[in-house]
Amino acid sequence: MATDWAADVKKYDPKADDDAIAGIVRHCGIALHKVDSSLVSYSDPEELKRVREGFIKKKLAITDSDTDIDAALASVGETLKGVNRKNRVTVYYLLAKHYNKLSLFKKA
């Protein structure tokens, strides 16, 4: 599957940081090799819980309440409203940007 992750992110953030995008792609790793796991399903509460617990709380180290985190997830969902295939890299990038954590994904 050849996907231009940066091009998709830049639809929503034209000035997106290529190094941060590359770092998120590295973080996602093998999950991006299959179509199903490369997407985030906003209609699946379990999927959103995995994003909240595994990415936002664990990787980004966000300690906000679940309610506040869910609001951030919903905000990104609104940004991507009308998009049937929400790429995981794009969702993660927009969340990392929301929390000012893009530097976590840049090489030192």
Domains of the chain: 5-102 (1.10.238.120)
Note the pLDDT tens digit of each residue in 36-66.
Answer: 999 999 999 999 999 999 999 999 999 999 9
Query: What is d(CA 94, CA 90) in angstroms, rounded to the nearest whole number?
Result: 6
Instruction: Compute the CA torsion angle 68, 43, 30, 108 (nearest 10 deg).
Output: -20
- State the helix-helix crossing angle for 88-98 and 5-12, rounded to 10 degrees: 50
**pTM of this structure:** 0.95
Q: With contact defined as beta carbons under 8 Å apart, do 107 and 23 qualify?
A: yes
Which residue numbers in the chain have pLDDT < 50?
Answer: 1
pLDDT of residue 2: 56
CA 62 to centroid of chain Cα atoms: 14
